Amino acid sequence: MLLEGKNALITGCARGIGHALMTAFAREGANVWAFARKESASFMEDCQALSQRHGVWVRPVYTELTNEAARKAAFAQVLADKQPLDILVNNAGIMGEDRLFQMTSEAEMRSIFDVNFFALLEVTRFATRLMARRSRGAVVNIASVAGLDGDSRIDYSASKAAVIAATQKLAREYAGQGIRVNALAPGYTDTDLVSGLSQKVRQETLARILLGRPADPMEIAQVAAFLASDRASYVTGQTWRVDGGIL
């Protein structure tokens, strides 16, 4: 019960790493505002099942994070609950199709940055204002090894590099307010996000991983839960690789 009694806001919860984050945090005792893009009966059922199973509340919040009006409406839902916010996990992200720089349009690159970077900053702005009221909190940004190694398409790699740089800056800015800011850099993880990768790229990636397999999303979520917990109280401004040992 690493997160017992804490309230967390997690973005991109409908599938993949985000769904694992929601599940892991509820299992560790956290209440969760579970942000997702589209409303669905199955997602609502998942939230209800987690609430009942672990004795916490998991509240779905549906929003398009790149739309300012929709984002503000989602924040209003969080505020209406009149609950303190202890943890933010910025997970929502997109990758796009695997293609070379010369084949990638400016519009595609801007759309990647809108979701992966600018929306993340706006959610962080909202969350840290709430955390600052109590002079404590933890932010975990889900980046990528692509942001460190530059081994994915240029817009995705650059957007995740921007997240890592922002993590370091925000950690400096918020340390005096008791707010820790860290990032996770997952490697090749078994999610829909990597479904656009070619078979050749997948095989080449697996060949570089010491453990010889992709990560399960829950393996990423468990590290995020630790970073968000009080057990990581002296960790801030860091980017933790969770990549199975990429050489």
Catalytic residues: 156
**Neighbour-count burial of 35, counting CB atoms closer than 10 A to its CB (0-12 exposed, 13-18 middle, 19+ buried):** buried
CA atoms within 13 A on the CB side of 107: 0
In angstroms, rounded to a whole number, what is the distance separating the alpha carbons of residues 125 and 72?
12
Question: Rounded to whole angstroms, what are the CA distances from 28 to 31, 84, 101, 187?
Answer: 9, 18, 42, 24
Torsion of CA 125, 131, 133, 136, to 10 degrees: -140
The 3-state DSSP class for residue 82 equals: coil
In angstroms, rounded to a whole number, what is the distance separating the alpha carbons of residues 237 and 176?
13
Non-local CB neighbours of 176 within 8 Å, separated by 6+ positions? none
In angstroms, rounded to a whole number, what is the distance separating the alpha carbons of residues 156 and 144?
9
In angstroms, rounded to a whole number, what is the distance separating the alpha carbons of residues 56 and 50?
8
